[in-house]
């Protein structure tokens, strides 16, 4: 019997698991995919928004401002990267200038660091702002992270301290019993006193398994992005927003934690929760819209495009509550933007609800601290030499674009919540994330996965369980 069972291993499920692993609780984390952070957490703008934008009086506004303040300490604890690179919201005409001033006063009322800059002041800081820009709102507390790296690190840390992770466990049924729940997956039945529904796009479906009064309906909002190659001097150093609208924050230009540039997203409401294909019309729309805010974008350096689905619902706000009709069942529904920025505060909020259901007594034994990823590309020559002398695999370069060695790949395969697919390796150490997008290293990554997992190369997956890569033996063994 588990004290708490979390459904969904995205960023909120992962951070909840990490925090709960500090208490004397038996915890399980169930995920339908073969890796954590595989859905909305893996495909978004990766921005820690300042909290200037959400509507006053909403849970989004409260948790965004609080969440932003928590990210520094959280990333230090998890040993992952976080940069407060700042952001500009830009106005391109007098009407937008009036709205920008309203946004500025809203930010000031919330204690969000902010200032208004005229065009001349803004251009000194971001020379590639569009010629249309006449005024900007400067938001220096805005930051960037890698949401999937945060989630992977959080789950690894939680597993080091007692969490039980179950991948490939899609929940198919939940039965309410006296004082507990039976949670059924194709691989077994789990019993738990409390359930936290953090299933993202499928949170409404999960809630419907226990409630006939469920009125929540997730409507996927599709956003499409371009990814630009790294540059010696990126086109912008800050995140650049247009004025927000009812569709969201608009088409952005976003530096990433790994020195790429993201351009996007659009915002299309769709019905298919698996609708993750790029469309030419949406990508063209992104190009047209971004020209209003930033110029000189090197579109010839695009190395890939991708799609993210946001778990939106008809109500604007987050739904984070114990279900009114199901005791000990906590819903996280409609956690779209600013869900990433709010995630640490969402954890706090859920724990406050949970404290009335189970005793939150902290463990007295020493906590096992998470070991940071081995990143050869950040080491000194002496450190690299020491790694190679310890294990010659660190001298074998697998990914030339991102400078990733075999030793780094082997390390992330064998950790808790370790990599089991090509995409899982890419998310952890960036093998395949560079200019050639795996054109050089992917066969070698497949060979390493096959060897380390003791499976056939034909059994190695790109990502999902349906994404086999090879159908037969090749002439050369690349292992």
| Distance from C-alpha of 377 to C-alpha of 379, rounded to nearest angstrom | 6
Into which CATH architecture does domain 1-80+145-217+314-371 fall? 3-Layer(bba) Sandwich (3.50)
2 contacts 190 by C-beta, under 8 angstroms? yes
Using DSSP bridges, classify how beta strands 47-48 and 188-197 pair: parallel, antiparallel or unpaired: unpaired
pLDDT values of the chain reduced to their tens digit, one per residue, 479 residues = 999 999 999 999 999 999 999 999 999 999 999 999 999 999 999 999 999 999 999 999 999 999 999 999 999 999 999 999 999 999 999 999 999 999 999 999 999 999 999 999 999 999 999 999 999 999 999 999 999 999 999 999 999 999 999 999 999 999 999 999 999 999 999 999 999 999 999 999 999 999 987 789 999 999 999 999 999 899 999 999 999 876 667 899 999 999 999 999 999 999 999 988 999 999 999 999 999 999 999 999 999 999 999 999 877 899 999 999 999 999 999 999 999 999 999 999 999 999 999 999 999 999 999 999 999 999 999 999 999 999 999 999 999 999 999 999 999 999 999 999 999 999 999 999 999 999 999 999 999 999 999 999 999 999 988 889 998 876 665 55
89 φ, ψ (degrees, to nearest 5): -100, 125
Give domain limits for the chain: 1-80+145-217+314-371, 87-140+218-309, 376-459
Per CATH, domain 376-459 is 3.40.50.11540: no
Q: Does domain 87-140+218-309 have CATH number 3.40.50.620?
A: no
Topology alike, domains 1-80+145-217+314-371 and 376-459: no
CA distance linking residue 161 with residue 139, whole number of Å: 37
Question: What is each CA distance from 357 to 82, 89, 165, 180, 369, in whole angstroms?
Answer: 33, 42, 22, 12, 28
Residue 143 parent element (H or E): strand 143-144
This prediction has a pTM of: 0.95
| Cα 365 off chain centre by | 31
The residues assigned a catalytic role are: 49
Helices (H), 59-177: 59-78, 94-109, 119-125, 147-160
């Amino acid at each position: 019997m588990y004290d708490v069972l979390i459904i969904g291993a995205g960023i909120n499920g992962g951070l909840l698991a990490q925090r709960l692993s500090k208490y004397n609780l038996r915890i399980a984390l169930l995920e339908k995919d073969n890796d954590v952070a595989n859905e909305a957490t893996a495909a978004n703008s990766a921005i820690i928004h300042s909290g200037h934008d959400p509507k006053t009086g909403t849970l989004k506004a409260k948790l965004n401002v609080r969440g932003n303040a928590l990210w520094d300490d959280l990333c230090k604890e998890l040993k992952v990267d976080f940069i407060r690179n700042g952001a500009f919201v830009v106005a391109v005409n007098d009407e937008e200038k009036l709205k920008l001033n309203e946004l500025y006063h809203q930010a000031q009322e919330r204690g969000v660091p902010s200032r208004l800059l005229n065009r001349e002041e803004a251009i000194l800081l971001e020379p590639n702002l569009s010629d249309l820009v006449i005024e900007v709102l400067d938001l220096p507390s805005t930051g960037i992270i890698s949401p999937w790296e945060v989630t992977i690190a959080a789950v690894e840390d939680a597993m080091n301290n007692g969490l039980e992770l179950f991948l490939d466990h899609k929940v198919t049924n939940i039965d309410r019993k006296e004082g507990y729940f039976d949670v059924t997956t194709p691989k077994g039945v789990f019993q738990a006193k409390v359930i936290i529904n953090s299933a993202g796009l499928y949170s409404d479906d999960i809630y419907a398994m226990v409630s006939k009064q469920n009125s929540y309906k997730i409507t996927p909002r599709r956003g499409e992005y371009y990814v630009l190659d790294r540059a010696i001097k990126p086109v912008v150093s800050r995140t650049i927003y247009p004025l927000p609208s009812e569709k969201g924050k608009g088409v952005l230009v976003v530096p990433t934690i790994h020195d790429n540039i993201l351009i996007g997203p659009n915002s299309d409401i769709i019905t298919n929760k698996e609708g993750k294909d790029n469309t030419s019309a949406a990508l063209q729309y992104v190009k047209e819209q971004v020209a209003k805010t930033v110029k000189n974008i090197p579109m010839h350096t695009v190395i890939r495009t991708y799609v993210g689905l946001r778990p939106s619902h008809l109500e604007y706000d987050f739904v984070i509550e114990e279900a009114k009709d199901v005791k000990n069942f906590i819903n996280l529904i409609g956690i779209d933007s600013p869900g990433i920025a709010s995630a640490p505060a969402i954890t706090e909020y859920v724990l406050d609800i949970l404290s009335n259901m189970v005793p939150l007594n902290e463990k007295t034994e020493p906590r096992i601290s998470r070991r940071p990823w081995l990143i050869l590309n950040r080491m000194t020559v002496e450190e690299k030499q020491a790694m190679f002398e310890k294990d010659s695999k660190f001298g074998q370069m697998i990914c030339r674009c991102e400078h990733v060695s075999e030793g780094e790949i082997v390390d992330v395969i064998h950790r808790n919540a370790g990599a089991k697919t090509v995409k899982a390796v890419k998310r952890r150490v960036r093998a395949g994330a560079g200019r050639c997008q795996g054109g050089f290293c992917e066969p070698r990554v497949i060979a390493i996965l096959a060897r380390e997992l003791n499976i056939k190369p034909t059994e190695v997956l790109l990502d999902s369980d349906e994404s086999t890569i090879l159908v037969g033996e090749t002439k050369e063994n690349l292992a």
